Amino acid sequence: MNDVTSRYPTEDVEKPRIVILISGSGSNMLTIADQVLSGSIDADIAGVVCNEPEAAGVQKARDRDLDVSVIDHRGFTSREEFDVALMRTIDDYQPDLVVLAGFMRILTPDLVRRYEGRMLNIHPSLLPKYQGLHTHRRALEAGDDLHGVTVHFVTEVLDDGPNVIQAVVPVMDGDTEETLRKRVQLQEHIIYPIAVKWFVEGRLEMVSGLATFDGKPMPDTGVKLEG
Ligand code: GRF
C-alpha cells in the first residue's frame, strides 16, 4: 500500500519528555505544565519530582493528573546518596529535558554532568548578578533600579551556566522583597515556558558551553526582554 500516513503513523512518534523538579509552591511548574497540557508546548510531562513532602506544588501537580515522585532529602545521610536516588527517579522517567523550577537543593557534580545540556534552571536575578539566595533583598539593598530573572542551562558552578532568556523588571520606590518578588515572578511565568518550548522544538541547545539558538550562539545575557 502506498499510503504515506500509514507508513509514518504520527501517534507512534514520541514527544520530548520533560521532568520538572520542585521544592515549593510550584507556580513555574504549573505554567509549564499547563502550556504542555494545552498543546502550546509539544511535549509530555513525564513526571514531577519534589524533595519536600509538604510542598504545595505536589498537590498542584496531582490536581493536573501528573505523575509525582516525592523523595525527602532528610531520609538520606549525604548529598551524594540523595542525588543517586534522585538520578534513579529522574532516569525512570527517561527525560529529554530536566527543568529545575524552584528546586532548592545544591546538586552534586555527578548529577549535573549526567543532565548537562538538557537541564534548565530559573534564577530570580539578572545573572551573573546575585548568584545564590535572597536575590530580591540584595537588589533592594544595593539600590538597583533594575532587577529581573534569568533562565539558564545548568552547569557545575551554581547559577553560572549559559543564559537563555532574561526579563528585566524595574525596581519601584517603596518596593519590598515581597512586591519585587511578585513582579519578578510574573516574568518567570512568561520566560520559562518560552525557553522550554525552544528546547523541545530543537531550537535551543548547549554547544561547547554556549547556549545556541537555531545553531547560532546567544548573547551572554541570553535573549533579553526589557520591560
Ligand atoms: C522562583 O522564584 C524561582 O525564580 C526560584 O524559585 C522560585 C520558585 O517558585 N528559582 P515556584 O515554586 O515556581 O512558585
Series of mean pLDDT values for 10-residue runs along the chain (227 residues): 47 88 98 98 98 98 98 98 98 98 97 98 98 97 98 94 98 98 98 98 97 97 91
Domain annotation covers residue 171:
yes
Give the residue whose CA is nearest to atom 6 of ligand 1.
102
* Domain identity same for 31 and 104: yes
Domain annotation covers residue 5:
no
pTM (predicted TM-score): 0.94
Q: How far is C-alpha 96 from the chain's CA centre?
A: 13
134: left (phi over 0), alpha (psi -120 to 50) or beta: left
Ligand 1 atom closest to Cα of 100? Answer: 10
Is 123 an annotated catalytic residue? yes
* Domain identity same for 110 and 138: no
Q: Is the CB of 185 under 6 A from ligand 1?
A: yes
| Domain of residue 51, CATH code | 3.40.50.170
* Ligand 1 center to 144 CA (angstroms): 21
Residue-range definition of the domain harbouring residue 78: 14-115
* Domain identity same for 128 and 98: no
Distance CA 56, CA 79 (A): 23
Domain annotation covers residue 7:
no
* Ligand 1 center to 23 CA (angstroms): 9
* Ligand 1 center to 182 CA (angstroms): 10
Q: Which amino acid is at 29?
A: M
